[in-house]
Chains A and B, each alone.
Chain A
């Protein structure tokens, strides 16, 4: 146990010394890694900010239930009672055709048009706020309600939300592809960097093997290197992402204010950061392991 710790401390110390000796080239490598990490991170944050926006707007979405013109007060009562018993409906209110007309009359611009009408063209209507927010549940509700007696038409005003939802799904797929491709790039960058290090230390590796170094002894410093590249890359990526989001946010908020919302892009949270770190370190470790294993096979007789 003690010697195991010694070996690890030794390897870590060696790696840190090597890092310090080539601080500039190592920082640039870490920046390259950071850029590959920051891109999917930014896309993810933008997407999740929009998803958040969608779910807040969705709660504003509602169904309009327009009744037939020949509907009787008893039928209205029946519909009222049916709506009151349904659990998928959060709340609803009834506006009679007379009230609707009064509301229209309240606006002076409409008065001339309305006074020229011989009868009230407006239907009685229920306005419903559904409990569930996903469009499948809303569609189900719409289908059920249109079966009721005395219903002329059911309207769902979530068409643009649906489109936004589809766009977000598309965006998530694009993010997945982007993350995979950049992950592969990361794998190559770290792998090549480790391979370069191995080349400069080929003699040392060879001598060490000849005088009794185990494979893990030789592998260990390179694994630490890979992991440290990943970790530093992730830290830089966090910085880059935060700066980019912060820069964009002032403009985004101004734009959002024009639409009467206080939307802004969210900064990376602990979860996002941890996942980025773990992914980067894992990629670093795996690519370093593969690179070293290849060089070991070559140098053993």
Chain B
């Protein structure tokens, strides 16, 4: 359960990236954050994922107030999330297997248990046969799927993806969205930022629409 109450985020020397946003996300929801480029989508995701602290207002993650937490407690909150970054942030000096191993290493999981989970995650995104390949040799869609595998390997209860279909063609984008849909169906909260309307998978979903840092529209849609 994530609650944002009257949250404003201001970066030094610029306008509010997000102003007075209030909304809540329940466990297992599928949420699309939409809006033009620069509307504050990424900022909103960073606030939700406890990567940034709000300038004003409160962010509650499972009833913990992020603004009030000590710096040393933030990493433990972040581990509840699986993050897929806009620019993937894959590590190009290690192979697919070891890219996916990183979150587990951070959680102190190594050895046979880790290997099992890593292969399961790679299998889920269809990259099991490429575990020894270096990320640079993968196509754009494969890199995106590798990033998803890394995000889900530690079995987070919340999955956050920033523009996961941004520079993919429609077929690939559809595959990726189906993948997110599959995670949502097993009870994972999925939050996706997107600037286009590809986000119409066949599930009930919530839309948070941003315009110049303001939350202009909140709706729950049930597509056919």
**Interface residue ranges, A against B (CB under 8 Å):** 3, 6-7, 10, 203-204, 206-215, 217, 301
Partner of B91, one of A203, A213, A215: A203
Q: How far is the CA of A209 from the CA of B81 in the complex (A)?
A: 13
User: Are A208 and B52 in contact, CB atoms less than 8 angstroms apart?
Assistant: no
Residues B118-161 near A (CB distance < 8 A): none
Residues of chain B with a CB closer than 8 A to A301's CB: 46, 51-52
**A213/B106 contact (C-beta < 8 A), A203-B91, A207-B91 known:** yes
Listed residue (A7, A211, A215) with the most chain B CB atoms within 10 angstroms of its CB: A211
Shortest beta-carbon distance, B93 to chain A, in Å?
8
What are 9 A-to-B residue pairs whose CB atoms are below 8 Å? Answer: A3-B108, A204-B102, A207-B91, A208-B102, A210-B51, A211-B79, A212-B77, A212-B107, A214-B72
Interface size on B, residues (CB 8 A): 22
Chain B: CB-nearest residue to A300: B71
**A204/B51 contact (C-beta < 8 A), A10-B105, A211-B79, A211-B103 known:** no
Shortest beta-carbon distance, B162 to chain A, in Å?
11
Shortest beta-carbon distance, A72 to chain B, in Å?
90
Q: How far is the CA of A7 from the CA of B46 in the complex (A)?
A: 27
User: Are B52 and A215 in contact, CB atoms less than 8 angstroms apart?
Assistant: no
Chain B: CB-nearest residue to A213: B106
User: Are B78 and A207 in contact, CB atoms less than 8 angstroms apart?
Assistant: no
Shortest beta-carbon distance, A40 to chain B, in Å?
38
User: Are B103 and A212 in contact, CB atoms less than 8 angstroms apart?
Assistant: yes
Shortest beta-carbon distance, B69 to chain A, in Å?
13
Residues of chain A with a CB closer than 8 A to B110's CB: 6, 10
Shortest beta-carbon distance, B1 to chain A, in Å?
19
Residue B10 lies at the interface, judged by CB distance under 8 Å to chain A: no
**Interface residue ranges, B against A (CB under 8 Å):** 46, 51-52, 72, 75-79, 81, 83, 85, 89, 91-92, 102-103, 105-108, 110
User: Are B102 and A212 in contact, CB atoms less than 8 angstroms apart?
Assistant: no
**A207/B108 contact (C-beta < 8 A), A212-B78, A301-B51 known:** no
User: Are A203 and B75 in contact, CB atoms less than 8 angstroms apart?
Assistant: no
User: Are A215 and B72 in contact, CB atoms less than 8 angstroms apart?
Assistant: yes
Q: How far is the CA of A210 from the CA of B110 in the complex (A)?
A: 20
Residues of chain A with a CB closer than 8 A to B107's CB: 212
User: Are A212 and B89 in contact, CB atoms less than 8 angstroms apart?
Assistant: no
Shortest beta-carbon distance, A214 to chain B, in Å?
5
User: Are A213 and B75 in contact, CB atoms less than 8 angstroms apart?
Assistant: yes
Shortest beta-carbon distance, B92 to chain A, in Å?
8
User: Are B106 and A212 in contact, CB atoms less than 8 angstroms apart?
Assistant: yes
Residues of chain A with a CB closer than 8 A to B77's CB: 212
**A211/B72 contact (C-beta < 8 A), A6-B110, A203-B89, A301-B52 known:** no
Residues of chain A with a CB closer than 8 A to B79's CB: 211-212
Shortest beta-carbon distance, A217 to chain B, in Å?
6
Residues of chain A with a CB closer than 8 A to B81's CB: 211-212
Residues of chain A with a CB closer than 8 A to B51's CB: 210, 301
Chain A: CB-nearest residue to B88: A207
Shortest beta-carbon distance, B144 to chain A, in Å?
16
8 other A-B residue contacts (CB within 8 Å) besides A206-B89, A209-B75, A211-B103? A3-B108, A10-B105, A208-B106, A210-B85, A211-B83, A211-B102, A213-B75, A215-B75
User: Are B102 and A207 in contact, CB atoms less than 8 angstroms apart?
Assistant: yes
Residues of chain A with a CB closer than 8 A to B76's CB: 212, 214
Shortest beta-carbon distance, A298 to chain B, in Å?
15
User: Are A214 and B108 in contact, CB atoms less than 8 angstroms apart?
Assistant: no
Residues of chain A with a CB closer than 8 A to B92's CB: 203
Q: How far is the CA of A105 from the CA of B52 in the complex (A)?
A: 102
User: Are A6 and B102 in contact, CB atoms less than 8 angstroms apart?
Assistant: no
Chain B: CB-nearest residue to A4: B108
Q: How far is the CA of A204 from the CA of B77 in the complex (A)?
A: 19
Chain B: CB-nearest residue to A208: B106
Shortest beta-carbon distance, B170 to chain A, in Å?
29
Partner of A210, one of B78, B91, B108: B78
Residues of chain B with a CB closer than 8 A to A6's CB: 108, 110
Shortest beta-carbon distance, A160 to chain B, in Å?
64
Q: How far is the CA of A299 from the CA of B62 in the complex (A)?
A: 27
User: Are B75 and A207 in contact, CB atoms less than 8 angstroms apart?
Assistant: no
Q: How far is the CA of A213 from the CA of B78 in the complex (A)?
A: 8
Chain A: CB-nearest residue to B151: A211
Shortest beta-carbon distance, A2 to chain B, in Å?
9
Q: How far is the CA of A229 from the CA of B106 in the complex (A)?
A: 25
Shortest beta-carbon distance, B28 to chain A, in Å?
22
Listed residue (B52, B75, B103) with the most chain A CB atoms within 10 angstroms of its CB: B75
Residues of chain B with a CB closer than 8 A to A215's CB: 72, 75
Residues of chain A with a CB closer than 8 A to B78's CB: 210-212
Listed residue (A212, A215, A301) with the most chain B CB atoms within 10 angstroms of its CB: A212
Residues of chain A with a CB closer than 8 A to B105's CB: 10
Residues of chain B with a CB closer than 8 A to A206's CB: 89
